[in-house]
Amino acid sequence: MYTKRAYYRNQLYTFSKYTGLNFRAMGTNIKYKNGFYGDGIVSKFPIEYSANYLSPLSNILHEQRGILCNKISFGNTKINVFSLHMSTFEDERILTSKELLKITSKINKNEAVIIGGDFNVGIKNIGNHKYLFEPKDTYEEYEILKGKFKSIDNTKDTWLSKESSGCIDSFFYSKHLQLLRQETIKADISDHYPVYAEFLI
């Protein structure tokens, strides 16, 4: 937010305004070029509670990432929505998946959990802000989460760059939730395509 590439605007407020999703929360992980860098969530329903957890680092020189959690309430239903942007280093992604399990273990079992974001699985940092996607049959980051959650079955590329492309954005969710549909939407607004998921709560 408020950075040059965001035209010095509050991106979260702007997105909230134009979508009509009036409740929002931001988790700031680092200061970035006179602004802030982190994760955000917008919601149609009130946000009862919001917390931002800093992701584990294996090297203090690496970029700090975060895990933003919002508890959203409507009626007697409570949904814990997590937004995250994992590291470009595999060991830190694995640590973050394990941290997610610790955080979600403290949530009431009657409450739903939905985790979405840029997981960066298969991404290799080749320096100078350039990355390559190296596909694998399985990713340890995902396997850790699959022990507790279901995942959407998306395989289409969600990230594209001059150097590479791959499917690195996804959703995980409580096993008692029903996934109605999911879709990767081609949109020329970012180096990522939006991933849409609809659940029966």
- Residues pairing with 56 in the sheet: none
Mean pLDDT per 10-residue interval, the chain, length 201 residues:
58 85 86 75 93 96 94 92 96 98 95 97 90 95 97 95 94 97 92 95 85
Helices (H), strands (E): how many in the chain?
A: 3, 14
As given in the structure block, the two tokens for residue 170 are 């996804």
> What pLDDT does residue 75 have?
86
> What pLDDT does residue 124 have?
92
Is 58:92 a contact under the CB 8 Å cutoff?
yes
Closest CA to 131 of 158, 156, 163: 163
> What pLDDT does residue 32 have?
66
Three-state secondary-structure class, residue 171: strand
> What pLDDT does residue 101 have?
97
Is 6:35 a contact under the CB 8 Å cutoff?
yes
Is 133:156 a contact under the CB 8 Å cutoff?
no
> What pLDDT does residue 8 have?
57
Q: What is the pTM of this model?
A: 0.92
> What pLDDT does residue 1 have?
46
Hey, what domains does the chain have and what are their CATH numbers?
Answer: 44-200 (3.60.10.10)
Any idea which residue has 């800093």 for tokens? 54
- Mention every residue, 6+ apart, whose C-beta is less than 8 A from residue 21: 15, 42, 43, 44
Is 169:159 a contact under the CB 8 Å cutoff?
yes
